[in-house]
Amino acid sequence: MHPVKLIAVFAENQLGQMARITKKLADIHANIRWVTIVTSETLGVIKFLVDKPDLAYESLHAKGYTVSYIEILAIAVEDKPGGLNAVAECLARNNINVENASGFVSDNQAVLLIEVANAAAARATLANQSLRLLSEEEIFNL
Amino acid sequence: MFWNQATETIDRGSLGALQLKRLQETVARVAGAVPFYRQAFTERGLTPAHIKSLSDARHLPFTTSADLRATYPTGLLAVPIDETLRLHTSSGTTGKPKALFFSARDVANAAELCARCFVMTGMTKKDIFQNMMTYGLFTGALVTHYGAEKLGCLVIPAGPGNSEKQLLLMQDFRSTTIHITPSYALYFATFLEKKGVDPRRDLAIRRAFVGAEPYTEETRCKIEQALGVRVFNSYGLSEMNGPGVAFECEHQHGMHLWEDNYLMEIVNPKTGEPLPDGQTGELVLTTLYREAMPLLRYRTRDITSIIAEPCACGRTHRRIDRITGRADDMLIVRGVNIYPQQIERVLMSLPAVGRNYQILLDGLDDMTVNVELAEAGFDGHVEHLTKLQADITDRLRAEILTKPKVHLVPPGTLPVSEGKAQRVIDRRSL
């Protein structure tokens, strides 16, 4: 099971930047499953979940972009009231501090993507819990 | 190793006597041949006979950059123009250039001084010298070119820029020594990284002569690490023949200045008052052995100090410290005096910071420092970038006593320079 990772791009906040970067991803036929842009004053980081992370990394890097992987946890959430709460309770019980989080729903599957300080350790901790962690393959096949 | 051991290790007494003899000859010659100096002597009631000791040099008039422009093109020539062999100019950012003439002896002598400098770093005729400085009116490349030829090295007159070609030359001809500006050296290191070239494994370069722009010890370390070379600091200025005025020996601690050719003084940059050895001020140089265009007490505007202690290498010519700034580069921001090198020192000491930066002055007195992140400094988290930005701001404020705006930018996004870098852009509407 491959852990899920995001591609993060450090990009200057300028007109057309998003268009240029997504064009590179389109050129390699990478399918973007999820995206977020984080800005802080003049700093901007675009994070993608794509189905070809390594190819996307290489291709952006070759074009001179500053790229990094971010390993994350993709947690399956029941698509019903209380679904997210059950996950949050479990993370809290296990002392897992969430640095960034976002979620999406695909068909009837809700997914919570979380960034934590140490993804590998968090994954090990959660292995014995009732939560289901999605692999890279599962995410792309949703 | 020495190129000219007798002169390089001459005892201080004999060196002083040689300097005085040459100073007296120089003063007598310009009094006769250069109306500009003749007039200045008359105004001061000075004749060549007044120069009885080296300390009398302080009575001589200064020569400034403005004087060179005012007497442009031939006003400071001490020989008929058909006795000259070569013209170089020093570009100013504004106005007329400065014209510098070399006689046949001056060309040969400038090469001799460069040969001394090169041998001082361990270079031999077996070395292959790739000269990545600008050829042409600028002295940087031609003067060192002649010096390396004099030493008997294979010289590759590559000139600056065109990094692909530079790399090809290095690979095919196994260049061992390069001559380069610090800004281009940093850019070239990034270029090699992108190409996947490890200079230690793939190239033969082991030594770099780095000059033409002031740079810091931190930048030296970055260049040494990134290019796998030992960096030797080179000091020169076109007005004094260009490179070869002062150079680091193998001990890499201060630059030996060839005192048989130049009389050096350190003065207070504001008042012109001479300062004792060890104190920091403006370097003032008098040519002692220049034929075509002798200059008396030239105000270099470069800020440094004299290291008078003997050097382990055995050379008796005193050293000057790394240039900490140019008097002309000093910025006044919100009433505070700042040298760009202070900013560079802070930036280059941080591993997460890359190799390029830019200082922008805007509006009334707003300072923005654009800083490239190191390639390895990005882990995907904007929070870490924000933290680094705040850290740089704090460190800069501690150094320059005013708080700049700091913008981190991705590596490779600031304008690059393959010649002299323009680090400061002043757009203030003061």
Over residues B293-342, the pLDDT tens digits come to: 999 999 999 999 999 999 999 999 999 999 988 877 778 888 788 888 88
The CA radius of gyration of chain B, in Å to the nearest whole number, is 22
Taking 90 as the threshold, does the pLDDT of residue B207 lie above it?
yes
Taking 60 as the threshold, does the pLDDT of residue B430 lie above it?
no
Cβ contact, residue pair B383, A99, below 8 Å: yes
Residues A55 and A107 in one domain: no
pLDDT of residue B279: 95
Q: Least CA distance to A61: which residue of chain B?
A: B194
Residues B161 and B300 in one domain: yes
Provide the 3-class DSSP secondary structure of residue B235: strand
**Sheet of B405-409, strands arranged across:** B405-409, B366-373, B353-362, B424-426
Cβ contact, residue pair A99, B407, below 8 Å: no
**ipTM, two decimals:** 0.85
* Residues counted in chain B: 430
Residues A51 and A100 in one domain: no
What type of residue sits at position B76? L
Residues β-bridged to residue B369:
B359, B406
pLDDT tens per residue across span B24-54: 999 999 999 999 999 999 999 999 999 999 9
The count of domains in chain A is 2
A117 to chain B, any CB pair closer than 8 A? The answer is no
Residues A88 and A58 in one domain: no
Residues A78 and A44 in one domain: no
Domain boundary residue, one of B328, B354, B371: B328
Residues A102 and A135 in one domain: yes
Domain boundary residue, one of A55, A71, A87: A71
Residues B350 and B311 in one domain: no
Q: Least CA distance to A37: which residue of chain B?
A: B382
CATH number at residue B402: 3.30.300.30
CA distance B201 to A56: 29
Residues B197 and B321 in one domain: yes
Residues A26 and A46 in one domain: yes
Residues B110 and B42 in one domain: yes
**Across the interface, which of B380, B383, B407 has its CB nearest the CB of A68?**
B380
Please name which of A86, A140, A77 lies closest in space to residue A105, comparing C-alpha atoms: A77
The CA radius of gyration of chain A, in Å to the nearest whole number, is 16
CA distance B284 to B368: 33
The count of domains in chain B is 2
With contacts defined as CB-CB under 8 Å, which chain B residues touch A12? 409-410, 413
Residues B411 and B268 in one domain: no
pLDDT of residue A1: 67
Residues A80 and A132 in one domain: yes
Domain boundary residue, one of A28, A51, A71: A71
Taking 70 as the threshold, does the pLDDT of residue B168 lie above it?
yes
Residues B320 and B335 in one domain: no
Ordered per-residue pLDDT tens for chain A, 142 residues: 678 999 999 988 778 889 999 999 999 999 998 999 988 878 899 999 999 999 999 999 998 899 999 999 999 998 889 989 988 999 999 999 998 899 888 877 899 999 998 888 888 888 888 889 998 888 888 7
Range of the domain at B395: 330-426
Range of the domain at A85: 72-140
Residues A78 and A94 in one domain: yes
Residues A63 and A85 in one domain: no
Residues B274 and B320 in one domain: yes
Q: Least CA distance to A42: which residue of chain B?
A: B407
Residues B271 and B349 in one domain: no
Residues A136 and A76 in one domain: yes
pLDDT of residue B335: 79
Residues A61 and A115 in one domain: no
CATH number at residue B74: 3.40.50.12780
DSSP secondary structure string for all residues of B169-202 = HHHHH---EEEE-HHHHHHHHHHHHHHT--HHHH
Residues A29 and A52 in one domain: yes
Q: How far is B382 from chain A (nearest CA, A)?
A: 6
Residues B271 and B336 in one domain: no
Residues with Cβ within 8 Å of B69's Cβ and at least 6 positions away in sequence, in order, are B92, B95, B96, B97, B98
CA angle A95-A98-A102, nearest 5°? 140
CB B258 within 8 A of CB B285: no
Q: How far is B224 from chain A (nearest CA, A)?
A: 24
**Would strands B336-338 and B331-333 be described as parallel, antiparallel, or unpaired?**
antiparallel
Q: How far is A8 from chain B (nearest CA, A)?
A: 5
Taking 80 as the threshold, does the pLDDT of residue B247 lie above it?
yes
Which two structure tokens, joined as six digits, stand for B163? 């990094």
